[in-house]
Amino acid sequence: MIFARCTRSFGATQLIMQSSGLALQRAGHASPIPVGMDHDGRENKADIMWLSQDMTVLKVLDSNRVTEDGAEAVALAYANATEGWVVKRRLQQREGADWLLGKERRWLALEISGTAVGDPFARLRVKKQQLIANCSLDAERLAVVVVFDAPFIVAGTA
């Protein structure tokens, strides 16, 4: 995942980069790994690459947070790699989305969810509904769910 180009503020995503590698390695994967993708029903494939992480760190980290942060890193890289969105900033919970991304005077509110195992499509439906109900920003909206055991990325516009 090439973060340097998906964010103007590298430091903003630096903290979650490590988690994406840890979440993937915890699921038994090694870099690079093929990943399945579904974006509004359009299927695709790509490879995820990351710097190998020291797994002993997992002993002192919250497991759910590693999954959530890891999913954020994967989703931000996905939004950049597929449509060129660039990270602007993290949003407070009350905005109803996790991140604001931008490109050429367009804005995207991105809602992200991560899970170690499970059905990503059911979760995507929930996330899309949350975006519609809670995000009042005058921006395009995208929900992304990352499953680490497959690994698989599902994305849907809301």
Partner 1 sequence: MNASLFTLTEDELDTLVSIAIRRAEVLDQAGSLMANDAWREVMTYEERLAAITPPDEIPGGIARVGAVTAALAAGQRQEASRLALQYRDEESLPEERRAAIERAFREDGEQLAKRFPALAKSGKFAELQELRRRSAVTPLRVFPKVA
User: Where along the sequence are the contacts to partner 1 (CB under 8 A)?
Assistant: 8-13, 15, 65, 88-95, 100, 107, 136-139
Cα of 31 vs its chain's centroid, Å: 17
Which one, 56 or 136, has the nearer CB to partner 1? 136
CA 40/CA 158 separation, integer angstroms: 10
Minimum CB separation from partner 1 for residue 93, in Å? 7
Q: CB-based contacts of 56: which residues, under 8 Å, 6+ apart?
A: none
Which one, 11 or 41, has the nearer CB to partner 1? 11
Minimum CB separation from partner 1 for residue 89, in Å? 4
Strand arrangement, sheet containing 140-147 = 42-48, 33-39, 152-157, 140-147, 106-115, 99-103, 86-90
Which one, 35 or 113, has the nearer CB to partner 1? 113
Minimum CB separation from partner 1 for residue 98, in Å? 10
Which one, 139 or 150, has the nearer CB to partner 1? 139
Minimum CB separation from partner 1 for residue 137, in Å? 7
CA 148/CA 28 separation, integer angstroms: 9
